[in-house]
Structure 1
Amino acid sequence: MTDGKTEGLDKAAVFICHCSGNISEHVDIDTVKKTLKAGGVSVFDYEYLCSSQGQALIKNKILEGHLDRIVIGSCTPSKHGTLFKKCIQETGLNRAGLEIANLREQCAWVHPDRSGATDKALSLLKAKLKRLENIEPLEEIKVDITQQALVIGGGIAGITAALNLADNGISTFLVEKDSSIGGQMAKIGKIFSPDKLAEECAMCSLSPLMNEVAAHPKITLLTWTEVENLSGSAGNFTVRLKKKPRYVKDNCTACGRCSRVCPVLVEDEFNCGYMDKKAISLRFSQSVPKVFCIDSDYCLQLNGETCGKCASTCKNGAIDFSQKEETIELNVGAVIVATGFEEYDVSQKPQYGYGIFENVLTQMELARVLGINGPTKGELLRISDFSKASSDPAPATCDSRCENSSNNSSGAETPKRIVMIQCVGSRDEKEGGNRYCSRYCCMAALKHASLIKKRYPETEITICYIDVRAFGFYENYYRAVQETGVNFVRGRPAEVIEKPDKSLVVRVEDTLDQKMRELPADLVVLSAAMIPSPGTKRIASVLNLSQDENGFIKERHSKLKPVDSSLDGIFVCGTAQSPKDVTDTIAQAGLAAVRARAFITDSPKALDNEIVAINQLLCTRCEECLKCPFDALSINESGRVVLDPLICTGCGYCTELCKEGAVQVAGFTKPQIKAEMEGVLEEGDVLGFVNSGIASLTCDNIGNSVLTYPSNVKLIRVPTSLVVDKDLVLHAFRYGASSVLFVEDPPESPRAEVIYPLTVMHFEKLKEELGDLGSRLHFKKAYVPNTKGLAGTFTSLAREGEMIK
């Protein structure tokens, strides 16, 4: 494109968003407008193009000028791409007539030099205009959405989401990896609300919901089950599940005879590892479903020894050692991920003595000690004063609550001094820590301090804190706890020391009076950080969802789409998304259910993904494209190659296989990619072909993380680098690229596990075919957390390019 009048642009227009200064403070929009107008392009700018007024401006200009090609310079298309597509389609334009230039995350935010950012913005807009000269209308493919939903995770978030969906008429599958639903909330004993100063029984709130799930006609509950694979597309997902055998049939009445005769004691995960469970047991007394389960790792009969006592004593014949693992396939329209959290491993902070000194425990372990169904039946004892092996492994229930349970029946003394240490693993920039605040820890400490003070008023409790974060109405609870006589010391303790009598000393600097203090303690309680559960990390990989740098599942937009994941049709809620308390978890789970229901009921739905198009005139029926790793291509009865649009991922592998050029990814044809290169490249530029999935989000996050790289690094989004052949690479070099970089998704999802090795092979093949030029072709695997590393790669390649010039 030249500065003079360019032919064919009379029906094209550029719209530039100021983004409330996010773009306009770094890019000289007036200069950009003047340059484009000099080339005969109509240009309009507005403060917020994503607003209703901004969309109205776009639609009015399209209709007034009979425009058929639109370029929008704004934030990343992953934020408002769908919004802008819908906007232009309402005027009758095909969605192929829209291109979005990322002027924020990949320009304004990464180039602090205003001149460099302005030049880059201009080149990005010109590239998109050039690309639209090769416009090819995209066929709208509509699919019927499966009117069923899947909720993964049976904690309070999953339970809430499933009940909301089911109550609104959506058939819902609730999958839980443990033998019972309930999650972490079932462990914590007492809960409280922002508007209440009194603590309430957590199980009394949770148990009715659990039973409602079991009885709901629209909910299918699948416990002891994990998600193995997800395929298909938004609205038509196929989910493969693995259901482990319980070795107990559904006719179990939960009488408990089997557990009483079982000779094997095992660690109880629900009670934080105490030996108070049998190899056949309920997870806890209010479990749903209330069906016993045999732990195959410890059962003597299942491990080749003669036992079978549980089967002999069961009057209903419910024990079935012949049960096998099952594979279940479901078809669902939407998925909600509610896989929860786990406590930070506080042994990573050895200075506090966890795992070394018996009387150091976490807040979750303290919750179990205080719980009436805990290892001490609710008595507050030092860990060293009671055996981890219980003589009565049958858990207590709410019905067995004793009014005088504060009377110590074990003979051991109640701890007189308790020190709580806040932010263990949170707000910690040292190795092994987490920089974020876990939000719930301060309130958990206050709650347990309050419970102990009410029951054992003589106990001296000290909370060592950095800042007490009691947001909103929780401040009232904080004040009420202060009034009970709980002591507060501002400072992060340096170490915990054990004395010969198992008592402890906490050394801490009080930062308010700059004095070192030694706090004697019978118990030290560590408020551990909330981190993503292993299930959260695993599901993010299985479903190919974006994660933040800490491993939580990343929402699409924190304000506009706070429960939408990076993939359409998949939603996230609760502590799988970020640290939060029970109240916020329940609220977010309700929103996720609303969003999932809205998605499911919007049927039939148009597919947004660019998929393969086949030119039957060029096709020679060589059948090379049938090597598609996803089996999306086949031969029909007429002998033609046909595509299954619900299976095709748009990866582009088949385009490499087809030597006739008959197979191309719609929206990413060779003429379109060449045109974009011609518009964006200048001598000495680094050109990156970026996978439109995780890699593209990682590039966006460089700007979100306030990192920078040189403005002569230009990025073009592609389905994968498989669509970039030797001809395209040479075209980039002819137009001035000093180097070409492939930025690919890591092999950490079922789809990427297949595609990544193909992209590596493709890259190596191209390097060989390019000969001496192969040294200028590079490959980078992009992880979302590794923004700094990717920015460093961009910078080093740009510097190499300067040396070449």
Structure 2
Amino acid sequence: MNAALDKTAVFICHCSGNISEHIDINYLKKTLQAEGVPVFDYEYLCSREGQTLIKNKISEGNLDRIVIGSCTPSKHGTLFKKCIQEAGLNRAMLEIANLREHCAWVHPDKAEATEKALSLLRGKLRRLENIEPLEEIKVDIAPQALVIGGGIAGITAAVNLADNGISTYLVEKDSSIGGNMAKIGKVFSPDKLAEECAMCSLSPLMNEVVANPKITLLTWTEVDRLSGSAGNFTVRLRKKPRYVQDKCTGCGRCSHVCPVLVENEFNCGHMDKKAISLRFSQSVPKTYCIDPDHCLQLNGETCGKCAEVCKSGAIDFLQKEEIIDLNVGAVIVATGFDEYDASQKPQYGYGIFKNVMTQMELARMLGINGPTKGMLLKPSDFSMACEAVRSSTGTCGSKNSSDNPSDNSNGTGTPKRIVMIQCVGSRDEKEGGNRYCSRYCCMAALKHSSLILKKYPGTEITICYIDLRALGFYENYYRAVQDMGVNFVRGRPAEIVEKPDKSLVVRIEDTLDQRIKEIPADLVVLSAAMIPSRGTRKIASVLNLSQDESGFLKERHSKLKPVDSSLDGIFVCGTAQSPKDVTDTISQAGLAAVRGRAFIADSPKALVNEIPTINQLLCAQCKECLKCPFDAFSLKENGKIVVDPLVCTGCGYCTELCQNGAIQIASFTKTQLKAEIEGILKEGDLLGFVNSGIASLTCDNIGNSVLSYPSNVKLIKVPTNLVVDKDLLLHAFKCGASSVLFIEDPPDSPKAEIVYPLTVSHFEKLKKELGDSGNRLYFKKAYVPNTKGLAGTFTSLAREGEMIK
């Protein structure tokens, strides 16, 4: 054994059978011990006892290098690094072999999984022969936090942070905070049978945001860019003009005289809003906003009526967009959800038949500040375009029931038969659907059924369901609604047919009695799925956050770190993370605030310093590294090239620029990568170089999804594939690689938008330099939702290699 490994030991975790039931740990121990390497195993290395074992063995054996065979480093890497640091070792002296996601969970054959596990451990042992200690770089954490999204989750997180002394910026893309909860009207609770007013819970919190001196509220604002490192983020915001100054008193005169009606997003598309309006009557801030797409004055026509009647002189048609730069230590993402577009399921007639609506649209109709002022009406009998705007908010509505032409004394506008269809776009594996359960839909249907029956006794309500899901104490609410006389039919309707009188027929097979039924209805309500909002998808790209296969933001670990995102210092809560109801959303937002405050309080913070190191003896001062797209390099007065650790992303582009080999990425030097290649490869293997960001998470998710691929697929993590050069590729082929695959992050974030094309160009250059061997080099973008596709790529390339061998 190499003398450098005299003080190296391997620790293998059983992971409660996740590893030990699929990998022969005794074989690993005997083999490595025969090679002179001390090996210890324990059921739970991540436990206190497991960490104590590691520390004791370091002390007893005077160990200075450690290899741990366990689950993915993204789960417990930080924990194990802290463990060896407490034992007196530099954190660079730890290597983690992923025996769970890359072996046990992806290779059904135990012998093959065991052999691959052995190769991964040997690769890490070889890598440690060439490791160098990392100098710790510490920075002070900015004592401010940013919360993105002003719904109930964002409001709760911001208030909690502020109450704990953290100066907080709350950013909301709409003109008012409140989010989807403001639309709902009434909410259900796990401990109550009575429905509560949503605004009674929400409005005091909204006002608390304005009143709290520690909170800076920025509405009509979106996050444009994020840079810097954890603890010292620089965030660029783009604030759209309201064309109304903050001195607006909210009197509403401007809206009364505005001649332009526009579609009201808050009322789910009703044409009942003016071009200058509040989002809703309790809006915070209570400052009117002009819609620039429909305002006559802003579109070159003569109007200006709002400015004429504004006594405070708040109207400002010359207002411009603002760019705001912030420095924050932690970010909480609470960007909410959108309702599934039910028109993707044409069999239900949404968007085709007037009397088909969604639960959110029904919630707005039942709300006292909704388009019908709380009256239940058939949409076919209700005029979408109001004749006049009576309320001071700039939205339509009647002051009393006699004002509405649809409210006839005989009640012809009120539906007598209502059918609700569950799981529209949820629990649906067909094209256009989502496989997950949206969690809140069953309770929303029960709530609206209860509200309708209390206000309109005798209404015939039928709920078509797959499975009614009322968790915990919600079961009591379910029983109460059953007792009210709601009918339940188990089955998913096949189609909805409209009759000449605009009434509907729902055709369904009742799976309990195996009968085809036709249920007449005056109104059909679709319980549409909860999907990631457009804001959630956008912010995932801007912040470079990992998403699950459905587009929700992926937490670091569902049990241990349920609000930590894939990046340090950025946290996620509410329906941006997954479908959930108001109660769970508030709970998670509180936890996100606690985690954000704890992160900021942990100052100064040690940076992940896997950044370029410059060998000044080899540096020819050619200044090519100054071409860094992130401007991380600079030339000092003494002539030395230096790198800024707060700016550097560690992408490795500089290693390609430097022709003298003076620049290498700490912990990813060519010598270390060559050593790992030598340790893991056998003849005919497929070698994958995996970007340590989204691509690495995608590879882990293959195991999490219980997918499989051949055991001769070996993966090595790199900052990006820009650090992989011709010399490394030739070494891989020499060591037995049948082919090499670059697995790279997609260009879905500001960093990746820059790095990705550089990597593609680097890849094409290498293919040419390799000549005939270039045909053995492949490239793959790794999207988290495309886990199955990546596993398929591994399988096809590995089989090609076997045929060549």
What is the TM-score of this pair, normalised by structure 2?
0.98
What is the identity percentage for the equivalent residue pairs of Structure 1 and Structure 2?
Answer: 82
**Equivalent position of 1:263 in the other structure:** 259
Select the residue among 227, 243, 250 that pairs with 2:246.
Answer: 250
Residue of structure 2 equivalent to 1:311: 307
Q: Secondary structure at the match of 2:194?
A: coil
Q: Does 1:28 align with 2:24?
A: yes
Distance 2:406 2:427 in 1: 40
Q: Does 1:237 align with 2:233?
A: yes
How far residue 617 of structure 1 moved from its aligned partner, in angstroms, is 1.9
Residue 331 of structure 1: aligned partner: 327
Structure 2 CA distance for partners of 1:277 and 1:109, relative to 1, 3 Å: same
Partner of 1:99: 95
3-state SS of the aligned residue for 2:505?
Answer: strand
Residue in 2 aligned with 1:285? 281
Is it true that 1:361 corresponds to 2:395 in the alignment? no
Gaps of 5+ in 2: none
SS in 2 for 1:197: strand
Q: Per the alignment, do residues 310 and 407 of structure 1 end up closer, same or farther by CA in structure 2, a change over 3 Å counting?
A: closer
Q: Is the 8 A contact 2:8 2:64 kept in 1?
A: yes
CA distance in 2, matches of 1:410, 1:126: 79
Aligned-residue offset at 1:612: 1.0
- Counterpart for residue 475 of structure 1: 475
Structure 2 residue 75 is the aligned partner of structure 1 residue 79: yes
Q: Aligned runs of 1:158-557 on 2, under 5 Å?
A: 158-395=154-391, 410-411=407-408, 412-413=411-412, 414-557=414-557
**2:153–2:573 contact (8 Å) kept in structure 1:** yes
Q: How does 1:574-589 map to 2 (within 5 A)?
A: 574-589=574-589
Opposite residue 281 of structure 1, the aligned amino acid is S
Report the alpha carbon displacement of residue 410 of structure 1 after superposing the two structures with TM.
2.4
CA distance in 1 between partners of 2:710 and 2:188 (Å)? 51
* Match in the other structure for 2:106: 110
SS in 2 for 1:351: helix
User: What does residue range 722-801 of structure 1 map to in structure 2 within 5 Å?
Assistant: 722-801=722-801
Aligned AA for 1:435? R
- What residue is the counterpart of 1:712 in the other structure? 712
Per the alignment, do residues 746 and 407 of structure 1 end up closer, same or farther by CA in structure 2, a change over 3 Å counting?
Answer: closer
Say whether the 8 Å CA contact 1:377–1:396 is kept in structure 2: no
Question: Are positions 1:65 and 2:64 aligned together?
Answer: no
Change in 2 beyond 3 A, CA 1:574/1:406: farther
| Inter-partner Cα distance in structure 2 for 1:178 and 1:447 | 27
Q: How far apart in 1 are the matches of 2:515 and 2:58?
A: 70
Match of 1:679 in 2: 679
Structure 1 CA distance for aligned equivalents of residues 803 and 365 of structure 2 = 66
Conserved 8 A contact 2:160-2:593: yes
- Alpha-carbon offset, residue 710 of structure 1: 0.8
1:554–1:565 Cα contact (<8 Å) kept: yes
Task: Describe the superposition over 1:606-633 as per-residue Cα deviations: whole angstroms up to 9, x where unpaired.
Answer: 0124111111122111111111010000
Report the Cα offset of residue 639 of structure 1.
Answer: 1.3
> 1:374 touches 1:396 (CA, 8 Å); kept in 2?
no
In structure 1, what is the Cα distance between the partners aligned to 2:617 and 2:731?
26
The total of aligned residue pairs comes to 800
Distance change >3 Å, CA 679–CA 717, structure 1 → 2: same
The 1:250/1:74 distance shift into structure 2, 3 A limit, reads same
AA at the equivalent of 1:249: Q
Q: 1:285 offset after TM fit, Å?
A: 0.3
User: Which residue identity is paired with 2:718?
Assistant: V
Q: Distance in 2 between matches of 1:571 and 1:742?
A: 29
> Secondary structure, in 3 states, of the residue corresponding to 2:324?
strand
User: 1:52 maps to which residue?
Assistant: 48
Does structure 2 conserve the Cα–Cα contact (< 8 Å) formed by 1:495 and 1:507?
A: yes
Shift of 1:395: 4.5
For 1:410, the aligned partner's letter is D
Provide the C-alpha distance between the structure 1 equivalents of 2:481 and 2:803, rounded to a whole number of angstroms.
65
Range moving further from structure 2, 14-23 or 383-392: 383-392
Aligned counterparts, 1:602-617, within 5 A: 602-617=602-617
What corresponds to 2:568 in structure 1?
568
| Superposed structure 1 runs of 4+ greater than 3 Å apart | 394-398, 400-409
Partner deviation per Cα, 1:26-50 (whole Å, 9 max, x = no partner): 1100000000000100000001111
**Alpha-carbon separation, structure 1, partners of 2:154 and 2:211:** 16
Secondary structure of the structure 2 residue equivalent to 1:199:
strand
Q: Does the C-alpha gap of structure 1 residues 670 and 739 become closer, same or farther in structure 2, counting only changes over 3 Å?
A: same
| 1:327 aligned counterpart, secondary structure | strand
Any stretches of 5+ residues in structure 1 without a counterpart? none
Q: In structure 1, the residue corresponding to 2:317 is in which secondary structure?
A: coil
Distance across 1 between alignment mates of 2:508 and 2:126: 65
In the TM superposition, residue 461 of structure 1 has moved relative to its aligned partner by 0.6
Q: Could you say if the C-alpha distance between residues 359 and 94 of structure 1 is closer, same or farther in structure 2, counting changes exceeding 3 Å?
A: same
Q: How far apart, in 2, do the equivalents of 1:30 and 1:598 lie?
A: 41
Structure 2 contact 64–93 (Cα < 8 Å) conserved: yes
CA deviation after TM superposition for structure 1 residue 391, in Å: 2.9
Partner Cα distance (2:92, 2:694) in 1: 23
- Mapped to 2, the partners of 1:355 and 1:404 lie a distance apart of 27
> Would the aligned equivalents of 2:398 and 2:404 in 1 still touch at CA under 8 Å?
no
1:751 alignment partner, SS class:
helix
Q: 1:8: Cα distance to partner?
A: 2.8
Q: Indicate conservation of the 8 Å contact 1:276/1:394, yes or no.
A: no
Q: 2:517 is paired with a residue of what secondary structure?
A: strand
Task: Trace 1:592-607 onto structure 2 (pairs within 5 A).
Answer: 592-607=592-607
Q: Aligned letter for 1:92?
A: G
- 2:392 and 2:660 map into 1 onto residues whose CA distance is 72
- Asked if residue 639 in structure 1 is aligned to residue 639 in structure 2, the reply is yes
Find the aligned partners of 2:268 and 2:788 in 1 and give their Cα distance.
38
Q: 1:405 to 1:642 in 2, by over 3 A?
A: farther
How do 1:689-700 residues align onto structure 2 when only pairs under 5 Å count?
A: 689-700=689-700
Q: Are residues 1:39 and 2:45 paired?
A: no
User: Please, what is the CA RMSD of the aligned residues?
Assistant: 1.5
Partner Cα separation in structure 2 for residue 296 and residue 780 of structure 1: 43
| 1:45 aligned counterpart, secondary structure | strand
CA distance in 2, matches of 1:456, 1:410: 14
Change (3 A) 1:401 1:557: farther
| Alignment deviations for residues 361-391 of structure 1 (CA, whole Å, 9 cap, x no partner) | 0000000111111111111110011100123
Aligned residue type for 2:51: Q
Alpha-carbon distance in 1 for matches of 2:644, 2:169: 26
Aligned-partner Cα distance in 1 for 2:745–2:232:
23
Distance in 2 (CA, whole Å) between partners of 1:316 and 1:344 is: 42
**Contact 2:453–2:459 under 8 Å retained in 1:** yes
Give, in whole Å, the separation in 2 of the partners of 1:529 and 1:571. 24
- Paired with 1:782 and 1:8, the residues of 2 have a C-alpha distance of 36
CA contact (8 A) 1:684 1:737 kept: yes
Aligned to 2:784, what secondary structure does the other structure show?
coil
- 2:490 & 2:726 partners in 1: Cα distance? 63
Does the 8 Å CA contact 1:6/1:39 hold for their aligned counterparts?
no
